[in-house]
Chains A and B, each alone.
Chain A
Amino acid sequence: AQRVTQPEKLLSVFKGAPVELKCNYSYSGSPELFWYVQYSRQRLQLLLRHISRESIKGFTADLNKGETSFHLKKPFAQEEDSAMYYCALSGRGYQKVTFGTGTKLQVIP
């Protein structure tokens, strides 16, 4: 079974402070991990994928297979980062994508 856990429902940080959104997963094979973001009144969209190892809008996420984690990080939070963030996991072939419960990031000016 595949499972994604995001322990924090809400994370409030001040503008300019570092951000870390936690994500842990459970999967028996080699997982593909993603972070999706939903800004206010917008549809869900992909933020980044672990396989591309890229930084998007200053966010990075490293897959740690030992800790089965894929935490999302940004060194300096911006107000426009306020949104709902979902961690997602898929197996090979992308036939099933499992989402975590989401973390609402609130950046305080």
Chain B
Amino acid sequence: GAVVSQHPSWVICKSGTSVKIECRSLDFQATTMFWYRQFPKQSLMLMATSNEGSKATYEQGVEKDKFLINHASLTLSTLTVTSAHPEDSSFYICSANDRGRSTGELFFGEGSRLTVL
């Protein structure tokens, strides 16, 4: 149980277009979902914390107009990279905690690799 699925797993787009990445909790309800960015051979960088039904909380230095996060339901959060540029190319990962557990464990998606040409 407690599976998080991201879609798409990889995407290539042209510079200037927008890309949406979905993060779904398949068998549990997630009160909070987190979005990260991971550069090659580097750590996770927390971008934002997303709570169902409310605005996302962005980390310092992350442009909220550039990275739009929507958490419309307890099982779905989306990250939209608007007007993507080559420097936005990265590996984006989401995680979620299970509303039904109080362990604090995060369940991670498999990640989405974005390449902007």
Q: Is the CB of B111 within 8 A of A102?
A: no
The minimal Cβ–Cβ distance linking B109 to chain A, given in whole angstroms, is: 7
Q: Is the CB of B111 within 8 A of A43?
A: yes
A94: nearest chain-B partner, CB-CB: B104
Q: Is the CB of A86 within 8 A of B110?
A: no
Q: Is the CB of B34 within 8 A of A43?
A: no
Q: Which of B44, B46, B111 has the most CB of A within 10 A?
A: B44
Interface residues of A (CB under 8 A from B): 32, 34, 36, 43-46, 49, 51, 86, 88, 90, 94-102
Interface residues of B (CB under 8 A from A): 32, 34, 42-44, 46, 49, 93, 95, 97, 103-106, 108-111
User: Closest 7 CB pairs between A and B?
Assistant: A101-B43, A94-B104, A44-B108, A102-B43, A43-B108, A46-B105, A43-B110
A-B contact pairs, 12 of them (CB 8 A): A34-B104, A43-B109, A43-B110, A44-B93, A44-B95, A44-B106, A44-B108, A95-B49, A97-B106, A98-B46, A99-B46, A101-B43
